[in-house]
Structure 1
Amino acid sequence: MTQYPMVDQVNRLAGNLLAAGGELYLPGVGSLCVRFRGARRLSARLVEPPSREVVFTSQQRGVSLVDEIARVLRTSAPAEGPQAGGEHVAAQAQDIYDRWLSRTQQDGVLTIEGVGVLKFKNFTPDEAFDRRINPQGHAPVRIHRPRRFDGAMWIGIAAIVFVVAFTAYWWLDNRHAASTVTTGSESVTLVAAAPAATEHSAAAEASADGVGADSVTDPAAAGTASAASGAEGAAQDAASALRAEAPTDAAPAADGEPARLVSGRRYVVLGVFSTPENAARAAQLAREKEGSFRCGVYRFGAKFMVSPFESEDAEACTLFIRAHAETFPGMWTYTAR
């Protein structure tokens, strides 16, 4: 198609009006309107982005192209005198439009160079004009779905939480454990000596896993042991007085049936064992090491406790522990309920 300067200018004017998102009325043809089209899902993972399109309607919509041509004429070359204004410019604009339409419309097909083609009431935009109104393009966008937690991951998280909770409970229940002593084939936990032990009932100890006895660590235990070694004579006298004070039935035979704890009575604990045989073996070793010891074996929940001394007086138990701190370090006091 032969292009004329006038036709090219009208084409650019029509393209600018449509690119601005407006509606353009072409007298004798119809109206071109820009419509927004939302995003469309093409598949489960692909989505077509939103875009703008030009549609045709036979109704009169928007601004007339003839009026826009007249506006441009008045802006570029103002009419001379008051009489030349309206009718002259309107007639000139209509003449320009008619000549433009006669050159752009052939056999019912309207071709606006640089804008698009209107054929059978369907408007096909030019590629350059489509990029102008849709700079983002029409390429489908892939959807990135968030990663889901599967069942195995939830089970793993639950297991971690359970282990952390169980470890915290175990640590709180055994926070005063200080050292481990091996007797035969079994390891026995001993707790540092304390002037006032935390009281636990044998029934409560029986219901807990890994039954043991809690005690409060004496901050001055090390200093007391040093003082006891410095005043050896006084410690020996105190030990003799304690042995004389202990009742004859305070310590049952280690090789007999384990005895039950007496409520309210305080026991010096040498160790806690899982079987009566190990407890009896530990009591025998203690007697061989210290001939004055009369070790008794008591039921301690589901375990068995070895005690070389018991009394209703807490101070007496403390003195006994201090007197034998060098030979048997780590003994502690337990009060039965």
Structure 2
Amino acid sequence: MDPISMLIFNALVRRQSINLPDIGSLKVIMRAPVIEKKSVLTPPVNLVIYAESEFPEFTSIVTLIAQSSNKDEAQAWEIYGRWLAAARTDGVVRIDSVGEIRDGRFLAAAELNEILNPVNPAPVKLPRQMEIRQILLWVIGAVVAGGAISIGAITLLNHSTYPYEEEEQITVTEAIPATASDSTPKDTAIGPDAPFDSPVVTPETQPQPAEKSAGSTTPAATRTTTAEAAPKTASKTAPTAPSANSSVAAGQTGYYVVIGTYSTDENANKFIGQAKKTDNTLTFHKLPLGNGKIMVYTSLSASEQEANRLKRQCSASFPDAWVFKRRVR
């Protein structure tokens, strides 16, 4: 997935409406459950709708490009123009792993649809002779379950975290791995840390991050000393977050303060290197997930209240940090 398609993908899975200059705008809505005929119920479904016009309250993809790549507005427009020229063919705009826009309609890709609708939206035949009260309870249960699973899948596939976007705190009850059809080329760098100088970046042209030994348990104090030797990019006085080696024992529920999710270990290491320059008072750790993704987090707590407190402490450097709930393994 190219970097601009990744920005669009991440915005939509977070239900963020987005303007695509010279194309239109995209917005995610939820269609309510419907009883189409006797004893047949269509569950709620999330849809991406397309409009040919742009809306001032929506976020522009050019703004996301400029802020995620540290470019000025003119450079961001140039990057977007090159991407649009490659993505538009014969009046059809194809957005990798997101979908395509043709004939005034948006057709979602399988990868995006599986994240937005982890529950099968196919019509369901209800048992006969059900009372109205039973039907209502069934519908309410389907809505609650579908919403919880959808939020879990969306947060696990939140590929990147941007310091300029506003995001709600989402506490997930259980990690739900989402499997999308593997249409991404194997030699493509994925994530906001991929360079924006060309639409697709290969490992040969991508800077290689410093090698980090697996299973590192360096204490927070040692990491702070190491970070002080690097060039200082900002004077930070934020409190030091506790190490990942907290008092949470294996098998207990832990609350992680997450600042990013990446598809490869190489991209996660690159982000950690950049994050240390942003704030050398924090420690950064990797959490592999069952679906192959890697979360980068700053702390692990035994209570949600403590995790939220630590999230607020690091919000000056990472405003999009969020709390992830999971049983420690």
Normalization by structure 2: what TM-score?
0.37
**Which structure: greater helix fraction?**
1
Q: Which has the larger radius of gyration?
A: 1
Q: Which has the higher contact order (CA 8 A, sep 6+)?
A: 2
